[in-house]
Amino acid sequence: MPGGELVRRLYEAYERRDWVAAEALFHPEATVEMPATLERLSGRADVVAFQRAYPEPWGTMSVLRVLEDADGAAAEVEVVAPDGQRFALAAFWRLRDGRLYRGTEYWVTVGGEQPPPSRPAYR
């Protein structure tokens, strides 16, 4: 299966809370790094356990787009929490043996930061 399809299926499985389907997409030695929090998950069981344990309700996850190249794929994902707060994810994945192997996820709170005073706000 192409990398872009694997990545799309991953975040769609997360949205459904289908942990069995999600786990099947990962290489056994998969890792996920989240630079904003310096968290690193090692092994597909840990990756899925992290997602499964995330406090509910965490909202609606939508895959906005997926881009792929010969080595992997990237996704732009949005999560809208039950209270309307929005989060954005840029996820980058490399493949090994036809499975998701190395992921880096950059999460932000939409509107969670202000531009520095030296830069005019473009709103």
Q: Which domains does the chain have, with CATH numbers?
A: 3-109 (3.10.450.50)
- Position 121 scores a pLDDT of 67
Is the confidence at residue 58, as pLDDT, over 90?
Answer: no
In the chain, the percentage of residues whose pLDDT exceeds 70 is 98
How much is the average pLDDT of 64-92? 96
Task: Give 31-47 pLDDT, tens digit per residue.
Answer: 999 999 999 999 999 99
Is residue 20 a contact partner of residue 44, using CB atoms and an 8 Å limit?
Answer: no
In the chain, the percentage of residues whose pLDDT exceeds 90 is 85
CA nearest neighbour of 108 among 17, 16, 35, 32: 35
Quick count: other Cβ atoms within 10 Å of Cβ 21?
Answer: 14
Is the confidence at residue 123, as pLDDT, over 70?
Answer: no
